[in-house]
Amino acid sequence: MGKKRLTMRRKESIYGYIFVLPWIIGFLAFTAGPLVFSFAASFTNYNITSQMDFVGGDNYQGLFTEDSLFWTSLWNTLYFVAFSVPLTTIGAIFLSALLNQDIPGIRFFRTLYYLPAVLSGVGVYMLWMQLLDPGTGMVNLVLSWFGIDGPNWLFDPDWTKPSLIFMKLWSVGGSMLLYLASMQGVSKNLYEAAEIDGANTWRKFFHITIPMITPVIFFDVVTSLIGGFQIFQEAYVMSNNGEGGPANSLLFYNLYMWKQAFTNFNMGYAMAMSWILFVIVFFLTVINLKLAPRWVHYEGEEK
Amino acid sequence: MNKTRSFILVLAALVLFLSGCAGFQTSSNNEEANKEENPEGKTVIDFWTFWGSEIRRPIIEKIIADFNESQDEIEVKHTYLPFGDVWTKELAAIAAGDPPDVVINDINATALRGQKEQAMNLSQFLEQDDISNRFYPELWDATLYEGESYGIPFNTDTRVLFYNKDAFEEAGLDPENPPTTWAELEEYAAKLDKKSDNGYDRIGFYPLWGVGYDVWLLNANGQNYFDEQNNFQIDTAKNEDVLNWLKSFKDHYGEDVINSYQAQIDSQQGHPFFSGDLAMIVQQPTFYTQIRDYAQDLNFGVVELPEYEEGNGHTSWGGGFVAEIPAGAKNPEASWEFIKYLTDVEAQTYWAVQNFDNVANIEAAETAAESTEFTEDGTMVYQKAVENMEHTLLTPVPVIAPDFSSLINPNMDEFFLGSMTAKEALEKSQKDVESLIEKNQ
């Protein structure tokens, strides 16, 4: 029997699999096992060393009905995500629109605004703790020049989460770069045609630029939504003893999960928490994907 | 097509081969580590600490070197891990079945680690070799879970009141008679305040710098929130009084003054106590080393914490660290020998003197207090630190509710921010912790 020549399509899909093979191997070898294990162990009282007895849905039930800190941490995280995701997205689009001009010295400004994205981690948090210091920090000093009596930022439970969101806005440079790249890819013909039709700058921005960059907006919203739910370091570093800030206002979901796992050694309980978070994020991402065709515009898409 | 298929096969084989290599490599490494004998036939044990600073590292490594030279059976290797990592790494290593041999860990959670079988039960060694009476009883008791020890106390600390003698003199107070009760503390603080046009040139005292509200509650009650039967008690009239007393200082000085001083303390660039802008502060005795290094000319004294009212007791608060053998360690006998050395007089005295740190071994602490290596001020502070151990209580975490404080602290934050009264904060804490205990039972 002669071997049948592979069709172009099949060939392509084989190449595709080869390209994703490293990820699949990594997933099967390192991620899949722990994933399955954590799901199974979330129905036990696993504490890493001495016990692992099946307790049914007790962990889940306890979280929903008896644990007030669970709800606090979920609320804190939702609050953070609800504000930080739209604000950083709008901020990044706004900034990249400004930096997408053809004026002398623009490269300097692009570098300047991108710089915070290069810095990362604990160093930045330390810096912001000093900047946001109510008595001696730069932020309140600048506010005082305008006659504003600045808030107590990280010491006032009403201001701790806004402080972090504020800090996040400072480092939108990373996603700004994506928007900038995609804005530069927008064909000049479209703008020229619009100009002939008499469109002003705003109309061009809202009717050409924004629709053309929707794939990047979509990508940014999905990834920053997922990243937002995973906020941990900021609260761990920027609150006293990593406890979650004044009046638990920075007790984010992952911080509470970490405390359950590694200071109380309730590993099974923490695993149940991680699965609840997984379901929430999964659900939101599915909604995102379902809504995407309504507003995301892919060029060259087959209709 | 043949080409494509063979390409995939080769790729798959390569991947398998490479991952196989990695697998073999790690397991052969493990085997080597498991042999735990060096070429000279000595047992090698791995000792994990978080002491990596320029000051502490040479001291602990000298102690290890002394131990290694003192006998020819065991060789200790020191592994430094950052404070933020060391215990999560230890836990992972225990779970993986290849733990280190000795680890320095938090004394207050020793019983919890005993209950969870993370640390080895040491009673098998203590039966032959009872060293419990080397240590302060308060420290020893903190290592017990159901009456059996899971870690040997290494070092500890306490809280004392530092006061500026020159400021006392200036305010017309006797520098040799520091406050002994809360009423005196408040009275002296007011006398030591020095107002200026836009705020304060000097603050007498603010109770929540250096320590938290919990230390004052401990000081007033002379006992922990939990009694021996695990009954939790925080909602009392006395505690309400304590909280309101603490808050009266905040109201007295005003939020802005407190915040700007707090910022100065946090920034670690000029402590107000060093500059004479703050007359009294509660601190650990090791605070002295900063005075020694940054404010040599400061004329200061040190005294035990004032008592709630006369005869109530000068209860103070301390913590510390233990040396423990993780569950599943391969050479517990060797580990035990090393721990005995580590907590014996010689090593403990060396640690105490070089670090200016409170140690768990009573004889070592007392020897260190007489050390000629300290200056006059150093000796004064160290002696007070050692004396203060009799007033010092630890707050071991109750195994029934290890995270209870995360239910109290937010309420106390609300109280100090003014959105709850003391009574409300205490009632809510009482209720929340009781339901946590119930949930965990």
Nearest chain A residue to B431, by CA: A68
Q: What are phi and psi of A56, to 5 degrees?
A: 65, -140
Give yes or no: residues A227 and A277 share one domain.
yes
Which range marks the domain in which residue A128 is found?
Answer: 57-295
Token pair of A250, please?
């920075």
Candidates A17, A237, A265, A273, partner chain B, best to mutate (most B CBs within 10 A) = A265
CB atoms within 10 A of CB A23: 10
CATH 3.30.300.30 fits B43-157+319-394, yes or no: no
Per the domain annotation, does A102 fall within a domain?
yes
CA of B334, closest CA in chain A: separation in Å? 23
**A149 within some domain:** yes
Q: Which of B378, B417, B377 is nearest to B208 (CA)?
A: B417
Give the per-residue pLDDT at B32.
44
pLDDT of residue B178: 96
Partner-chain contact B267 A130, CB within 8 Å: yes
Whether residues A204 and A77 share a domain: the answer is yes
Nearest CA in chain A to B92: A48
- End-to-end Cα distance, chain A: 41
For residue B414, list chain A residues with Cβ-Cβ distance below 8 A.
Answer: 157, 247
Q: What is the mean pLDDT of chain B?
A: 90
The residue-averaged pLDDT of A122-146 equals 89
Q: What residues in A contact B277, CB-CB < 8 Å?
A: none
CA dihedral B188, B193, B194, B200 (to 10 degrees): 170
User: Domain segments of chain B: what residues?
Assistant: 43-157+319-394, 160-317
Given the structure tokens 């609800």, which residue do they identify?
A: A82
Cβ count within 10 A of residue B212: 18
| Nearest-CA distance B95 → chain A (Å) | 6
pLDDT tops 70 at residue B135 = yes
Fold of B160-317: D-Maltodextrin-Binding Protein; domain 2 (3.40.190)
Instruction: Tell me the C-alpha distance between B266 and A154, whole Å.
Output: 13
My answer on whether A144 and A239 are in the same domain is: yes
Does A198 lie at the interface with B, CB-CB under 8 angstroms? Answer: no
Taking the C-alpha atoms of residue A69 and residue B409, their distance in angstroms, rounded to an integer, is 12
Residue B145 has pLDDT above 90, yes or no: yes
State the pLDDT at residue B411.
94
- Residues A27 and A109 reside in one and the same domain: no
Residues in chain B with CB shorter than 8 Å from the CB of A133 are 263, 266-267
Q: Is residue A302 part of a domain?
A: no
> What's the rounded mean pLDDT across residues A214-219?
94
From B88, B260, B262, residue closest to A262, measured CB to CB: B88
Query: Could you count the other beta carbons within 10 Å of the beta carbon of residue B289?
Result: 16
Average pLDDT over residues A222-226: 94
Q: Are residues A11 and A79 in the same domain?
A: no
CATH code for the domain of A195 = 1.10.3720.10
Q: Is residue A244 part of a domain?
A: yes
- Sequence-separated (6 or more) residues with CB below 8 Å from residue B186: B205, B245
Task: Determine, yes or no, domain membership for A46.
Answer: no
Q: Tell me if A50 is assigned to some domain.
A: no
| ipTM score assigned to the predicted complex | 0.81
Same domain, A156 and A113: yes
Q: What percent of chain A has pLDDT over 90?
A: 68
The secondary structure of residue A186, as a DSSP letter, is S
- A14, A130, A264 member nearest B402 (Cβ): A264
* Cα–Cα dist A176/A93, whole Å: 6
Which run of H or E residues covers position B145?
Answer: strand B144-145
Q: Tens digits of per-residue pLDDT, A49-70?
A: 888 999 999 999 999 998 889 9
Nearest to A136 among B115, B260, B407 (CB): B260
Tell me the HSE value of B391 on the side-chain side, using a 13 A CA sphere.
Answer: 25
Question: How many beta carbons lie within 10 A of that of residue B312, not counting itself?
Answer: 16
Count of CA atoms in the C-beta half-sphere (13 A) of A13: 4
Q: Is A246 on the interface with B (CB under 8 A)?
A: yes
The confidence band for B24, taking pLDDT boundaries of 50, 70 and 90, is very low
The residues of B whose Cβ lies within 8 A of any Cβ of A are 1-2, 4, 8, 11, 15, 19, 87-88, 91, 94-95, 109, 112, 115-118, 256, 259-260, 262-264, 266-267, 327, 402-403, 406-407, 409-411, 413-414, 417, 432, 435, 439
> Which amino acid would we find at residue B96?
A
**Nearest CA of chain A to the CA of B425: how many Å?**
11
Burial of B53 (0-12, 13-18, 19+ CB in 10 A): exposed
- Rounded-to-integer distance, Cα A208 and Cα A191, Å: 7
One domain, residues A163 and A241: yes
Residues 253 through 272 of chain A touching chain B, CB cutoff 8 Å: 259-260, 262-265
On the question of pLDDT at A102 being above 90, the answer is no
Which candidate, A60, A41, A94, A121, places its Cα nearest to that of A206?
Answer: A94
Query: Nearest-CA residue of chain B relative to A8?
Result: B1
Same domain, A153 and A14: no
Best interface-test mutation with A: which of B5, B112, B116, B419 has the largest number of A CBs within 10 A? B116
A64's CB contacts (< 8 A; 6+ apart) are A70
Is the CB of residue A135 less than 8 Å away from at least one CB of chain B? yes
Query: A78 and A1 in one domain?
Result: no
**Mean pLDDT, residues B236-241 taken together:** 96
What is the number of structural domains in chain A? Answer: 2
Do the Cβ atoms of A29 and B19 come within 8 Å? Answer: yes
Residue A301 lies in a domain: no
A31 part of a folded domain: yes
CB B319 within 8 Å of CB B106: yes
The 8-class DSSP code of residue A29 comes to: I
What's the maximum distance between 2 C-alpha atoms anywhere in chain A? Answer: 88
pLDDT band per the 50, 70, 90 thresholds, residue A302: low
Q: Do A190 and A286 sit in the same domain of this protein?
A: yes
Banded model confidence at residue B342, pLDDT cuts 50, 70, 90:
very high
How high is the pLDDT of residue B6?
A: 59
| Beta carbons of B259 and A130 less than 8 Å apart | no
**Same fold for the pair B43-157+319-394 and B160-317:** yes
In this predicted structure, the answer to whether residue A219 has a pLDDT above a threshold of 90 is yes
Strands B160-164 and B278-283: antiparallel
> Which chain A residue shows the shortest CA-CA distance from B408?
A247
Do A70 and A13 share a structural domain?
A: no
Let me know the angle formed at the C-alpha of A22 by A21 and A26, rounded to the nearest 5 degrees.
115
Per-residue pLDDT tens for B167-187?
999 999 999 999 999 999 999
Low-confidence winner among B55-69, B146-160, B226-240 (lowest mean pLDDT) = B226-240
| One domain, residues A36 and A63 | no
Q: Which helix (H) or strand (E) holds B204?
A: strand B199-205
Query: DSSP per residue over A98-146, as a string?
Result: HHSS--TTHHHHHHHHHHHHHS-THHHHHHHHHHT-TTT-HHHHHHHHT
Q: Is B435 helix (H, G, I), strand (E, B) or coil?
A: helix
Nearest CA of chain B to the CA of A138: how many Å?
13
